[in-house]
Structure formats: C-alpha cells, structure tokens
Amino acid sequence: MLESTALLSCTDPVLVEAFHEAVNSISDLRLDVLPGMEAVCARVQKCEVPLVLVHVGEGQEDKAGVARLLETISLYKRSTATVVLGDHADPEHALTLLRQGVADYLTRPFDWNRVTHLLDRLTVRARLAVPPQQVAPDHVSLQCLGEREPFYYASVAATSRFMEQLRRVIPQDTTLLLNGETGTGKTRLARLVHELSPRCQEPFLVINCGALSANLIESEMFGHVRGAFTGADRDRRGKFMDVGRGTLLLDEIDALPLDLQTKLLRVVDERVFEPVGSNKTAPVQARLIAASNRQLAQEVAVGRFRADLYYRLNVVGFYLPPLHERRYLIQSLVMRFIDEFAARQNRPAMGISSAALRTLQEHDWPGNIRELRNAIERAVALCPTEQICVDDFPEGIGRKAPRTGPGIASCPPPLCASSSSNLNDAKEEAELARIASALHKHSNNRLRAAAELGISRMTLYKKLHKYGLFIRKQRQPQPIG
C-alpha cells in the first residue's frame, strides 16, 4: 500500500481544517495545502499527483487559475483528477469545467459524507498502485476466494485493500458498482459476491442493459401487464420480481437510456417498482449490483448518466484494472490455465516455451483475462507437442497491434479493393467494415455505434451475431490481481 498526496489550493482556514479531517479518515492519503495555483501547477509539473482540490471565489483570477491547472495536466499528460470547490452555485461555469475534464464541482454547504467518498474514489488507484519493485516479480502466486468456482487474485500487496473491502461487503446488502474493461471479470465478481453471501440459495440474475432496445429493457426489468403495449398479449414477470431475495446484476448500466435511469433511481431510492402498464407497486427485495465498462463519472460530466443515480449506485465501488496494467499476473494465470485445459482435454502435463511466455507478457490484451484464457485454451487444443510455442497462439498475438474496443479483434482495413466477385458478398463485407469501424470508434459501446449507423440497437445486436462480432459474457471464473 502506498501513501498518496492530495493537493488543496485554499486560503479559507475553516475549509482547510474540514478537508484535513475528511482526508484523515481515508487510509494511505494525506493532504498538502498550497498557497496558490502557481505552486499547485509547479507540483503537477514535477510529479504525478492523484487529486487536486481547488477553492474558487467570485473573481476571474481564480477561474483562470483552474484553466491553467487543466492546461498543465494536459501538457504534462498527468492522470490528475481535479475537484473545484465553489462558495456559490455557478451552473454555467460548472458545466464548462466538467466539459473540460474536471472530475466534480462542489458548492457550499458541502455534504461531507459525499466529499469523503469522492476523495476515496478519486485516489483509490494511486493508493493501491504497485510499488516499482513489485511491478514485475519473477513469480506471483494466485490466491482464491470461494470454493465451487473460485475467484483468483494475485498475492501482491496491491490487492490487500481490495480483498479486505470485498470480504467486508459480501455478507451485507450494500449496493455495489463494478467498473472495468470488458473481460476483466465484473460478472464473475458479481456472481462471487452472491455465492458467498447469505443470499446464495436465492437466484442470481443478470440484465444486460446494452443488449436490448429501450422498451424491451423496461419490460425485462419490471415486467408488464396484458395490453400495456402492442404485442403484450399476456402478463409478464420482470427480473426484479423473478429474482426475489436474490442478487440482480445490472450489466452495462451506462447504456441505460435517461428516461429509464429516472425510473431506476426511484427503484433504488424507494425499493419499489411497477410493471409496465400497471399502477400496483411491488417491493424490491434483491441486492443490486451495477457494472459498467465506462467511467460513469465521465458519463455524468457529459450528461449521458444521471448524477443522482450514479451516487446511489456507487455506494461501494470496485475497479478491476485491465490486464495490461497487471502484467506481473500473466505468468501465474498462464500456468494455471494450461493445467486446467490440459486436464479438461485429457492431455498430459504441458509447459510453455520462454519465447511464448515472453510473447504473452508483451501482448497488450485488449480483451483482458477473457482473451488470455481463450488464447491458452486454443493453444492447448492445437499444440502438437507437450510444450506450447508462439505458433500455437491466435493470429495477432506476438505482433504489436493498436488497441481496439472490447470484443473486436481489430478494425478491418478499407474494402475499396474487395476480392469478392459476388455482389452480395461485397455488400456484406462493406457492412461488416462499417459496423466494426463504428464499434471501434465508440470503444464497443453498442448504443452509440447504433446511433451513428442509423439503426436500432436491436438491429445492431442481430448483425453482431451475424458477423461473429458479439462476445457473450462468459460464466467462468475471472481472476484479478
């Protein structure tokens, strides 16, 4: 665990004391108070700072100071989060700052519970960072949580706080928000929380908010009564009712339309819902877990996600880092996957060449642990000997390639010189290239890709299946470091 430093630019002694108390309640975080923005910018230029808090008054000088700070962060390519503290509400200035990349804009009187949670969340990655001497240890052993389908994690100090918090919230009914790229194991983690909780004998259900059109998602969530809309010829129970006292995972929550976000907010706040077309309320008894492969704070900043719903879902948040940020974990995962698939395929004990292992450690893994697992399964199946080599890996592993969106191998080249002589084949190739390009542009967000293509999300969903671009969420255990 590393101690990280947050910076505060403020001359109000009352506010300084209050922020010192808030920061002191967060482990491994300390607060440095600097006299002005020049000192703050100088510190940001010198080193990486996880968080800067800036108190602004009515004057233009304070606003200009924030602008200089944002320019410095951009110029030096820092990952610094900025929170602006205002004495009075200024919606126009706040909107401008949020569009420029400020993490949040707070005004007095401050909600200190929210402030503390915000400080904790914005600095958690820096405080859990792996020290330089631990970035690439010779060997990292895997620990597991759970028995039937164990959840693997690395035996490094960086995961200690993650696992401590996870064990603490598992037996509770706390709402969780899981964030991380596709393939990092969010669904597996949600299932693990359910399997180890007192609700383990109840159902575990998943609603994929990015796979259905808006009207179908609402019916999928809440159900509907006969005659609620065209085609509703019978009553239908939704998953909020089917899950009972179990656990409900709202996957790809960032794709939920704004009108449904409003309805979901009421469900989370009041713990009741109504089926579509009905006036009768039903209680929500399930534990809720939300998952997103996009940063919801950024979605809030640009107006695509409701801030109030975000804060209600993000009671306890867990970030699952991509595999390319945890390369120290690859060797242990590879050896475990080789043993697993060799046993499953009734093959003798297998190994891997040093060149092949080095290739895996250098690959960028846009599909994260899921991609690694699939690559090893393929290699074990195709390897003619008892030692896996580079030639046994799928095409693309072993050569540097640009990172692409989750679920897409690469963005196809332009098809101006198609080799297909058949007109229908050529049309399909052009359609495939256009869809893949839109998905690549929007980081595999199907809602936005469909909007750019001018088709419904359901139509896009069908085409993804047609062309083999859609990857279903696997129900296999997904490790984390």
| Shared domain check, 315 and 177 | yes
| Shared domain check, 238 and 362 | no
| Shared domain check, 329 and 375 | yes
Give CA–CA dist 261/347, Å, rounded. 50
The last residue of one of the domains, among 298, 320, 342, is 320
| Shared domain check, 312 and 175 | yes
Tokens 């609620």 belong to: 228
Asked if residue 480 is part of any domain, the answer here is no
Instruction: Specify whether the CB–CB gap between 238 and 221 falls below 8 A.
Output: yes
* The pLDDT value given to residue 481: 42
- Is 31 a residue whose pLDDT tops 60? yes
| Shared domain check, 301 and 183 | yes
Give the CATH number for residue 366: 1.10.8.60
Give CA–CA dist 7/48, Å, rounded. 11
**pLDDT tens-digit series, residues 153-164:** 665 555 667 888
SS3 at position 143:
strand
**pLDDT tens-digit series, residues 118-131:** 898 888 877 765 44
| Shared domain check, 370 and 310 | no
Give CA–CA dist 25/28, Å, rounded. 9
**What domain range includes position 231?**
170-320
**pLDDT tens-digit series, residues 357-390:** 989 988 988 888 889 989 999 999 999 998 999 9
SS3 at position 164:
helix
* The pLDDT value given to residue 402: 42
| Shared domain check, 256 and 118 | no
User: Given pLDDT bands bounded at 50, 70 and 90, which one contains residue 287?
Assistant: very high
Mean pLDDT of 287-310: 90
User: Given pLDDT bands bounded at 50, 70 and 90, which one contains residue 229?
Assistant: confident
- Is 431 a residue whose pLDDT tops 90? no
- Is 412 a residue whose pLDDT tops 80? no
| Shared domain check, 188 and 82 | no
Q: How many domains does the chain have?
A: 3
Mean pLDDT of 389-396: 88
| Shared domain check, 254 and 239 | yes
Tokens 């600097």 belong to: 34
User: Given pLDDT bands bounded at 50, 70 and 90, which one contains residue 407?
Assistant: very low
Beta bridge partners of 292: 179
* The pLDDT value given to residue 245: 94
- Is 469 a residue whose pLDDT tops 70? no
